[in-house]
Structure 1
Amino acid sequence: MKILYISLIFLGTVFARKETLVLLDNSAIKETHSVFFKSLADQGHGLTFKIADDAGLVLSKYGDYLYDNLIIFAPGVEEFGGSIGVDTITKFVDDGGNILVAANHETTDTIRELATEFGFEIDEEGTSVIDHHSFDSNDKGHHTLIAVEPKNLIEAPMIVGSRHVHPLLYDGTGLVVDSENPLVLEVLTGDSTSYSYKPGTYVTETPLAIGRKTVLIAGLQARNNARVVFSGSLDFFSDKFFGSPVNPHGGKKYNSSGNKAVSDAISRWVFKEEGVLRVGKINHHKAGEQHPPSAYTISEDVVYSIEIEKLEGDKWVPFNANDVQLEFVRIDPFVRTSLVKGPGSSFVAHFKIPDIYGVFQFKMEYAKVGYTFLKNVTQVSVRPLQHTQYERFITAAYPYYFSAFSMMAGVLVFSFAFTHLKDTKSKSD
């Protein structure tokens, strides 16, 4: 019995493990970033390390992907090996895979091309993010080792964690994002005094990134909920930056940076260990009933409920929120109302169907930064009143009723009078 119990635990661990392919420029990166990789292993990732130009690289076999996630810590790769390329990685994301990519000052065109596929643009080779006001005192003179305040992180605890105090160390190139792309996230940005340019040279043209538009770490959540994170600094995830003290120029000194806490939070988010939602049971019916009808009638009271759950560890738990909405749509929304948290994981809405018939949809869409997108559509028919359902006597129509009956009475009196007078005249003659 004990052996069986241990076997079940082992099988559960194996099946719960997430397979992650790690592509490196060289094997030394595995050692210089050992703390980050150990953290991933502790989270249940099965890490497979490969050199980025290895001729035997494959992402899938016989139509099935071998990995759930992809990490590319190879900013210097000229061309991916094996069957992997920019198109292959893009398709991997299109099919639901997640990727984490780190660049640096010497980022090649291959990584730069990959970034453009997801709405990011990495500055040209040899450039660095420079900040002459927010640099670390350990900087070597060009002010490329910058200390970034936690306030520059995106306001999304699901992505970067919460309650950060220690500044972040950053030494790398700058990114810009497509501001018209609603799926792109500016995870970490530079200060208003930062810019991306070649260190030690005069600025003779407008830098690619200036001020707050200098993005240090960018993210994207695709419409299929696949997640992508690009960092302009490979050192951001290094053991050196994790344990290094931070001494901002003219500011307070800290014994350690906040890099480890932020990188752990980002890795959990990009690999779908945080902010994952799903829709459960859905029900709708007339008020006072339990089951959905074949069709609704105009102006009826309706109750709609939907279950939403959140992934925590390896368990699904009820999701708590007060900003989930429901729309009752026929081309355009006729009703928009909030879903109120009910018992367990349910959200409930009560409303009256509008006095318009046709084919409608119960539409629930939830898109909050840091969480997976939710969309559920249920189609129903709304019919007009049957002839037996109309009200027989309407108060507003009383004047018309009176006029009709008065006309009838008048005709009756006229007919009686006309007939009576005619008979009287005939007798007199």
Structure 2
Amino acid sequence: MAPASALLAAALLCAAAVAAAAAGQQQRVLVLADDPAAIKASHSKFLASLKQRGYRGDVKAIGSKGLQLKEWDDWLYDKLVIFGGSKALGGAVDVEQLVEFVDAGHDLLLAVDSGVSEELRALADQLGVDVDASGHAVIDHFSYDAATGAKDRASVLASNYVQSEAVLPGGLKAPVLYRGVGLSIAPGSETAFAALRGSPTAYSGRTDAAQTEAKLAGPAITLVALVQLRNNARVAVAGSVDMLSDAAFAAEATDRNNKNLGRVANEAFCSAISKWAFQERGVLRASNLSHRVVSGAHPGAVKPERYRINDEVEFSVEIRECADGACKPFKASDVQVELVMLDPYVRTTLSHDDAGRFSTQVKVPDSYGVFKWVLDYRRLGYSYIELTETVPIRPFKHNEYERFIVQAYPYYTSIASMMAGFLAVGAFFLWTK
């Protein structure tokens, strides 16, 4: 029996591996660059990492006349990587189609430099990220790599990264070597946030001229921006093509005091950013939304057609977090649900059981009408959860009211005393002369 069990286990593992490989092969990625041959040589490690993670696709020239993303109503690729420079988009691809690509739920990684074309600049703007003026670069006279930026201070060492386990699990152990243009995000943006910012001494300007003021300075400079659209499609915008290169992955930094800081964190950072952008991390899946009556008109009824006012009900949902090909129970203390009719009548925090089930018990409001459960969960770095379910609430039926209530006991007493008095007076006149 033991050999048979071992063979069965081996067969199951092989089947799982084949299924995983098949799933990975379904992910098609297109890499666009000004010079495909040069990108294959200079960014081979990054491209190899995509292949190792199960993606298959092509590297094409961004200005190719035969370039297309769509054939009739079918998208030819699931993911898109653009190393953008000065060349314009070619073929049937334009900014409008790229926006449509993202609106259809596909993901995009866009890396640009200071000479980025107006089309890619407009694309970034459509996604909520503004690219600084052409010819400008991020400069830092205090935090720079002395080996490559001793002259222009444009090879900055950035350590101001986003504090999110969904984006950067465990954070970074070393600074990121960055040479590129600055980005900016609207302060009130609901979809975009910075994955990497400039240090307090950084500013954006020209490296070949003196500068007395800067449009972007300090942490207001975004070096890498992440965008999660309302349809949960993701976009990563980096202001540097060089930061994803093999040379940057293997570089060792030296500070302005000529102290060797060791190897920079570009490879780990870029891998984490690409995994987030391609929805390999920070993805939440909600399922098994349920609500039942705990006590009231129909105790134990699951997803009843309607509630009665003042019923005690339980709401529950299962949430799992998917990362690196595996899903596990999600744990959080800030998931809330609302019972809404125009405005929320009930808002409460869900408690979890460490197995992915979030639940709470609430009392139905003393107001009837058409309500709906609303679970709208938005947390930095995680995909959005938006769940709604309509449930009417009815008043008491005429035969459901209590026959005797405590507040009416004085009235009951007065009626009984009046009846007793009437009987006593009647008996008196009937039985006395």
Same fold (TM over 0.5): yes
Q: Cα distance, 1:57 vs. partner?
A: 0.7
SS in 1 for 2:152: coil
Q: Which runs of 5+ in 1 are unaligned?
A: 425-429
User: Contact between 2:24 and 2:55, CA under 8 Å: does it hold in 1?
Assistant: no
Amino acid in structure 2 at the alignment position of 1:220: V
SS in 2 for 1:159: coil
Matches within 5 A, 1:340-359: 340-342=351-353, 344-359=355-370
Task: From 78, 100, 116, give the equivalent of 1:107.
Answer: 116
Task: From 217, 241, 245, give the equivalent of 2:252.
Answer: 245
Shifted more, 242-251 versus 129-138: the winner is 242-251
Q: 1:251 to 1:320 in 2, by over 3 A?
A: farther
Task: From 388, 391, 395, give the equivalent of 2:399.
Answer: 388
Question: Which whole-Å CA distance do the structure 1 matches of 2:75 and 2:16 have between them?
Answer: 25
1:142 paired to 2:149: no
Question: Which whole-Å CA distance do the structure 2 matches of 1:330 and 1:220 have between them?
Answer: 31
| Residues 311-355 of structure 1: per-residue CA shift (max 9 Å, x gap) | 234344332222221111122112222222237432221122122
Amino acid in structure 2 at the alignment position of 1:395: V
Could you say which residue in structure 2 is the equivalent of 1:124? Answer: 133
| Residues 142-179 of structure 1: per-residue CA shift (max 9 Å, x gap) | 11111112xx1011121133231211111111111112
Could you say which residue in structure 1 is the equivalent of 2:31? Answer: 22
User: Contact between 2:84 and 2:113, CA under 8 Å: does it hold in 1?
Assistant: no
Structure whose CA Rg is larger: 1
| Residues 5-38 of structure 1: per-residue CA shift (max 9 Å, x gap) | 9799557523432111000111212211111111
User: Contact between 2:251 and 2:264, CA under 8 Å: does it hold in 1?
Assistant: yes
Q: TM-score, normalised by structure 2?
A: 0.90
Matches within 5 A, 1:2-401: 13-17=21-25, 18-26=27-35, 27-77=37-87, 79-138=88-147, 139-149=149-159, 152-203=160-211, 206-250=213-257, 253-287=260-294, 289=300, 291-342=302-353, 344-401=355-412
Question: Which whole-Å CA distance do the structure 2 matches of 1:394 and 1:144 have between them?
Answer: 80
Shifted more, 357-366 versus 248-257: the winner is 248-257
Q: Cα distance, 1:396 vs. partner?
A: 1.9
CA RMSD of aligned residues (A): 2.5
User: Contact between 2:378 and 2:384, CA under 8 Å: does it hold in 1?
Assistant: yes
Q: 1:379 to 1:99 in 2, by over 3 A?
A: same
User: Contact between 1:366 and 1:374, CA under 8 Å: does it hold in 2?
Assistant: yes
Q: 1:303 to 1:109 in 2, by over 3 A?
A: same
User: Contact between 1:33 and 1:238, CA under 8 Å: does it hold in 2?
Assistant: yes
Shifted more, 247-256 versus 270-279: the winner is 247-256
| Residues 242-272 of structure 1: per-residue CA shift (max 9 Å, x gap) | 1111112248532200111110000000001
Shifted more, 356-365 versus 52-61: the winner is 356-365
Q: 1:3 to 1:366 in 2, by over 3 A?
A: closer
User: Contact between 2:84 and 2:117, CA under 8 Å: does it hold in 1?
Assistant: no
Question: Which whole-Å CA distance do the structure 2 matches of 1:128 and 1:385 have between them?
Answer: 69
Shifted more, 166-175 versus 10-19: the winner is 10-19
Question: Which whole-Å CA distance do the structure 1 matches of 2:132 and 2:340 have between them?
Answer: 45
SS in 1 for 2:274: helix
1:406 paired to 2:417: yes
Could you say which residue in structure 2 is the equivalent of 1:427? Answer: none
User: Contact between 1:107 and 1:124, CA under 8 Å: does it hold in 2?
Assistant: no
Question: Which whole-Å CA distance do the structure 2 matches of 1:132 and 1:292 have between them?
Answer: 63
Shifted more, 341-350 versus 381-390: the winner is 341-350
Q: 1:255 to 1:321 in 2, by over 3 A?
A: same
SS in 2 for 1:113: helix
Q: 1:385 to 1:175 in 2, by over 3 A?
A: same
User: Contact between 1:161 and 1:262, CA under 8 Å: does it hold in 2?
Assistant: no
Q: Which runs of 5+ in 2 are unaligned?
A: 1-6
Q: TM-score, normalised by structure 1?
A: 0.91
SS in 1 for 2:189: coil
Q: Cα distance, 1:47 vs. partner?
A: 3.0
Percent sequence identity over aligned pairs:
34
| Residues 189-245 of structure 1: per-residue CA shift (max 9 Å, x gap) | 1011111111131225x4331111011111110000001111111111111111111
